[in-house]
Structure 1
């Protein structure tokens, strides 16, 4: 089997809530998502998606994803997409860094592999654990009272894990965490996610001020070293996210006991192949995980669901359902939230069928000519 054509699409994903806000005044109203289609000489087609959280979150941006794919497309023609490791080695040799660019391509290869094998991707990633898995809901940055009210509303939809977007003024963030904690019920989990937004002295103030509250502290500062310093000053359970962008840093974090939970974003690591490697390493080391991505629609959500559903449940801290945040559906068969939980499709591959009328015309096509 050989890849014969690479097509790339752009699609806007507006938010149900109108805007999504997090640390440093950052916000997004419409997400710019990129979908890649790989066609083969065997008539099997695979799809993948990458959707950066704007150009100011991780070192990634939507136009860069498409430019990078145009650079990589000629290197894909003639490759066997079912040989995912070989494809990844070719991509890494052709373009240094830029893992997010490669993520959707790798995702599409897994979609093809599953279809050829007649198996859902979660089976190929290690097997399906149970009937479903737990989700969290991100609480966009607002006033303390509004964020607490949103937690109450989302609990009515079945969520029990809430990621509170903080990382702003420390006094306001302390009030946000306290207001949120007051509406929690037994069994709920609260994560205060600063998204690198605090300086060290601010983070130190916050963790000291909320010492009496059962809350996870997530990525308080920009650098690994700063986060580690705050980790050593608090007894709160600690989550690392933005700093963990490779297996090498993950191993360093384990050696330093830098975190209790790690967030594994598929595109940050470069696709399902490398995310599975990091997931399996975390499982061997006993590190709990949130399985997710930077953002995305139906296709990214499907990929997340397969990686999450194939993760041992005692090590899966939580996962996410990005397609429920946006107003546009790009694929049929995508997993849907049910009472705060989700399950991966049992159909072959990712289990999705893109809505080509939504994707529209490709922004570019490469067929080796």
Structure 2
């Protein structure tokens, strides 16, 4: 089997709650998504998606994804999509860095491989651990009272874990953490995600101020070194995200005892092939994981669900159902979140069927 065509689609994903807000004054009403379809000489097709949180979150952006697809299209055409690891190595040789560009190709290859083998991607990634995976709900940055109301609403919908978007300043962040924690009982988990928004000294102030609160602290500063310094001055459990970009960074963090949880984003590391390697290393190190992506619709969420469901339960901190944050549906068959959990689809491949009326016409075709 070989890839004979690449169809590229560009979809805007409007936020159901109006905007999604986090540290650094970032506020978006829509996110740019790039969807790929790989066509083959034998008929089956594979779907992949990459969607970025704007252009200031990571060194990646929507138009860059599509430019990268054009750059790599010649390497993908003629390749065997049922050997994702082989193609991933070839793409790394063709283009240094830019893992988010490669991610959509890689996910599409896993979708195709599952269809050819008549197996869900979760089975190919290691099998299903348990009936479902626990989700977290991200709470967009707002006033302490508004964020507390959001936590209470999603708590009542069955979510048990919450990622609080903070990172504006020591005083207001402490207020947000305390106000939201008051809405939860001992069985709920609260993760204060600073998204690199604070300086080292500000992060230390927050950590000291909430030392009596049951809360995780996630990526308070931009650099690994600053985060590690904050980690050494608090007894609260620590999560690293933006600086965890692959196997090397996980090994360094483990050796430095710099984190208790790692946020594994599929597109941040280059796709499911690389994410599986990071996942397996973290599980071996007994470092728990948040399993997700940088955003996406039903296609990206399905990939998240397959990765998370094939992760040993004791290594899973939480996963994300990003398609439920959007006001548009791009595919049928996506994981349904119920009671704060979701399960990977059981149909072959990713188990989703894109809605062509939503995707529209391709913005680029390579053959």
Q: Secondary structure at the match of 2:313?
A: coil
Aligned to 1:321: 321
- Is 1:346–2:330 an aligned residue pair? no
Question: 1:245-302: per-residue Cα shift (whole Å, max 9, x none)?
Answer: 0110110000001000000000000000000000001111111000000100000000
Aligned to 1:81: 81
Aligned to 2:159: 159
Aligned to 1:112: 112
- Is 1:358–2:350 an aligned residue pair? no
Structure 2 unpaired stretches of 5+: none
Aligned to 1:41: 41
Question: 1:310-350: per-residue Cα shift (whole Å, max 9, x none)?
Answer: 00111100000000000111111111111110000010000
Distance in 2, Cα, partners of 1:45 & 1:304: 19
Distance in 2, Cα, partners of 1:24 & 1:366: 38
Deviation at 1:186, TM superposition (A): 2.5
Aligned to 1:277: 277
Distance in 1, Cα, partners of 2:283 & 2:204: 30
For the aligned residue pairs, the C-alpha RMSD in angstroms reads: 0.6
Question: 1:79-116: per-residue Cα shift (whole Å, max 9, x none)?
Answer: 10011111011111111110000001000000000000
Q: Secondary structure at the match of 2:234?
A: coil
Question: 1:45-80: per-residue Cα shift (whole Å, max 9, x none)?
Answer: 000000001000011000000000011111111110
Aligned to 2:306: 306
Q: Secondary structure at the match of 2:8?
A: strand
Aligned to 2:198: 198
Aligned to 1:131: 131
Distance in 1, Cα, partners of 2:208 & 2:185: 23
Aligned to 1:250: 250
1:149-228 aligned at under 5 Å gives the runs: 149-228=149-228
Distance in 1, Cα, partners of 2:105 & 2:276: 15
Distance in 1, Cα, partners of 2:18 & 2:339: 23
Q: Secondary structure at the match of 2:150?
A: helix
* Superposed structure 1 runs of 4+ greater than 4 Å apart: none
Aligned to 2:72: 72
Distance in 1, Cα, partners of 2:287 & 2:185: 26
Q: Secondary structure at the match of 1:314?
A: helix
Aligned to 1:260: 260
TM-score (structure 2 length as normaliser): 0.99
